[in-house]
Structure 1
Amino acid sequence: MSAPLRAVALGGGHGLQATLSALRQLTTDVTAVVTVADDGGSSGRLRRELGMLPPGDLRKALAALADSDADGQLWATVFEHRFGGSGALAGHAVGNLLLAGLLEVLGDPVEVLDHACRLLGVQGRVLPMSTVPLDMAADVVGLDSDPDAIRTIRGQVAIASTPGRVKQVRLHANGVEEPAACPQAVEAVLGADLVLLGPGSWFTSVLPHLLVPELHEALVSTTARRVVVLNLVPQPGETAGFSPEQHLAVLSQHAPRLRVDAVLADADSVPTPDRLRAAAADLGAQTLLDKIAAPAVPERHDPEALAASLRAALERRTDRWR
């Protein structure tokens, strides 16, 4: 019997949840590589108080990959449950607190996540892109009377919500601008058959993976089929007004040597397909346009439709390439 497809998805938040849900329909060997620069909400509080990796995006990935049996789904629901009220626990997700407790006991964030995977019945793996929390800064224009004046915005939440236009993002850890990658994440990318980048908050969840040098090199050199999944709508703040092809332009700006095999986009979200095809071709990629938006929530990807499109991309079914 042939080994299952080895798939790696890089990102964070709801975008990563969508790709993980889709990949589960294609293979049991799924690894999530998750951003660790969040500084808001429950994650930001735990990061500041305990000095730990922000757990929120890691928790979401664990829940997305939880076993579909009753026990796995119960634990996924518990992980995602947030405390209400106005006390010290208000706003914290149970999964965030559990990961914090495991980290204090075990010390190693990769070991923590492997234990959490076993608890939720995850067959794949969830890994941080770095084993230390990262800080983010961005060059932003449009915040002054001079529209070309560049200001530096610091922090993931501030960048995601800026009313200006983000031009470039940077990562650093403890003042060092070349943060170390999680070795297991690098190994997963190098050993993969399929690597997905996106969808998600482009500057704060997708591009950060390309700013960790060892992970960047792994994405450039892997023999896996590399697929970029574009967002359905521009995100208010960091990509307001962006066309689909502009997302690819900033991807290339941050990783000029990265080659891509396929760019997957929702057919109804691409107003000028020829421009997208040209931008994808500059990355070495073919373009696949499909109906991949959730009918009831048009700004979210439908996991079943996304899985079908990814299967087509892997099989190189030319009748669906346009």
Structure 2
Amino acid sequence: MTVGSGDAPAVVALGGGHGLSASLSALRLMSDRLTAIVTVADDGGSSGRLREELGVLPPGDLRMALAALCDDSEWGRTWRDLLQHRFTSTGDLDQHAVGNLLIVALWELLDDPVEGLDWVGRLLGARGRVLPMASVPLSIEADVVRDGELTTIVGQSAVGSTASRVESIRLIPS
């Protein structure tokens, strides 16, 4: 099967982070009829900072999905690497990914996250489409047992790194 052929399957992939990115990198070799539906619950790193400061969807997992859909041409590799590049400084830009800033800037200009992602996808020559899972930032909230007591923790970073036993988990807003 070749990419772009009429026989290529239409594929929808749901997820986020490195797992979705790796899956999309493989799937783009089999089909360009890809749609990634990407989590918007990230609250750490560059995404968390932009989410907090600007009140936007966290762009990081969306950026990683777009980068994974770049082809292996010089154009695709260059834009993928630029999108993923992180600044190293002692200032406010430290550890921000160029792609996160580009995506958020387009969201501000266009006032539409989906349209902004489509614009980035066209710039990259992405082999597929990336959509946010929700139109508002989500938070993960979990009830965990810590020292024999049930307590609630909030945020993907906190839930993902807890050593406590998770009793229940939910998305906010539900």
Q: Please report the TM-score for the alignment, with normalisation by the length of structure 1.
A: 0.51
Of the three residues 62, 69, 73, the one matched with 2:73 is 69
Instruction: Flag structure 2 segments of 5+ consecutive residues without an equivalent.
Output: none
How big is the alpha-carbon RMSD for the aligned residues of Structure 1 and Structure 2?
1.2
Q: Which residue of 2 aligns with 1:163?
A: 163
Which structure has the larger Rg?
Answer: 1
Q: Which residue of 2 aligns with 1:104?
A: 108
Moved over 4 A (4+): none
CA distance in 1, matches of 2:128, 2:9: 11
Q: Does 1:135 pair with 2:139?
A: yes
CA distance in 2, matches of 1:117, 1:67: 11
Find the residue that maps to 2:86 and give its secondary structure: coil
Q: Does 1:54 pair with 2:62?
A: no
Deviations 1:26-58 (A, max 9, x none): 211111110001111100000011000000000
CA distance in 1, matches of 2:113, 2:104: 9
Q: Which residue of 2 aligns with 1:287?
A: none
Q: Which residue of 2 aligns with 1:258?
A: none
Q: Does 1:34 pair with 2:41?
A: no
CA distance in 2, matches of 1:101, 1:139: 36
Equivalent pairs, count: 170
User: How big is the shift at 1:168?
Assistant: 2.1
Find the residue that maps to 1:170 and give its secondary structure: strand
Of the three residues 19, 23, 29, the one matched with 1:25 is 29
Higher relative contact order (CA 8 A, sep 6+): 2
CA distance in 1, matches of 2:167, 2:7: 42
User: How big is the shift at 1:3?
Assistant: 4.2
CA distance in 1, matches of 2:167, 2:15: 19
CA contact (8 A) 2:70 2:80 kept: yes
Q: Which residue of 1 aligns with 2:89?
A: 85
Q: Which residue of 1 aligns with 2:98?
A: 94
Letter in 1 for 2:119: H
CA distance in 1, matches of 2:37, 2:15: 7
Deviations 1:74-95 (A, max 9, x none): 0110000000011110010000
